[in-house]
Amino acid sequence: MDADMTDQTNAEKNSDVSKTGPAGLVGVSTEPGSKKPDPIIVADNITRTFGGLTAVDVDHVEIQRGAITALIGPNGAGKTTFFNLLTGFDQPNSGSWSLEGKSLKGVAPYKVARLGMVRTFQLTKVLAKLTVIENMRLGATGQKGERFWTAPFKFLWGKQEDEVTKKADELLARFLLDKKREDFAGSLSGGQRKLLEMARALMVDPELVMLDEPMAGVNPALKQSLLGHVKSLRDEGRTVLFVEHDMDMVRDISDWVIVMAQGKIVAEGTPDSVMADQRVIDAYLGAHHDTDLSELDEEALEAEVEAEIEEEEAK
CB of 146 to other proteins, least distance (A): 5
- Which amino acid appears at position 231 of this protein? K
Shortest distance (Å) from residue 152 CB to other proteins? 4
**In angstroms, rounded to a whole number, what is the distance separating the alpha carbons of residues 230 and 97?**
25
Q: Looking at 140-177, list the stretches that DSSP marks H as alpha helix, in order from N- to C-terminal side.
A: 154-174
Is residue 50 a contact residue for other proteins (CB under 8 A)? yes
Q: In this structure, what is the dihedral angle of CA atoms 205, 211, 216, 220, given to the nearest 10 degrees?
A: 50
Q: Check residue 184 and report its DSSP letter.
A: B
Q: What DSSP string runs through 46-66?
A: EEEEETTEEEEEEEEEEEETT
Specify the residue, 125 or 181, whose C-beta has the smaller distance to other proteins.
125
Establish if 300 lies at the interface with other proteins (CB under 8 A).
no
Is 161 a residue that touches other proteins (CB under 8 A)? yes
Query: How many residues line the site for other proteins (CB under 8 A)?
Result: 49
Using CB under 8 A, which residues numbered 109 to 128 contact other proteins?
109-111, 113-114, 118-121, 125-128
The SS3 call for residue 235 is: helix
**What binding mask, one character per residue, do residues 242-281 give for other proteins by CB under 8 A, x or -?**
----------------------------------------
Which position among 48, 193, 200, 229 is part of the footprint of other proteins (CB under 8 A)? 200
Question: CA 92, CA 210: separation in Å to the nearest integer?
Answer: 18
Q: From CA 224, how far away is CA 149, in angstroms rounded? A: 45
Q: Which of residues 126-155 bind other proteins (CB under 8 A)?
A: 126-130, 134, 137-139, 141, 143, 145-148, 151-154
Q: Residues 11-40 vs other proteins: string with x where CB under 8 A?
A: ------------------------------
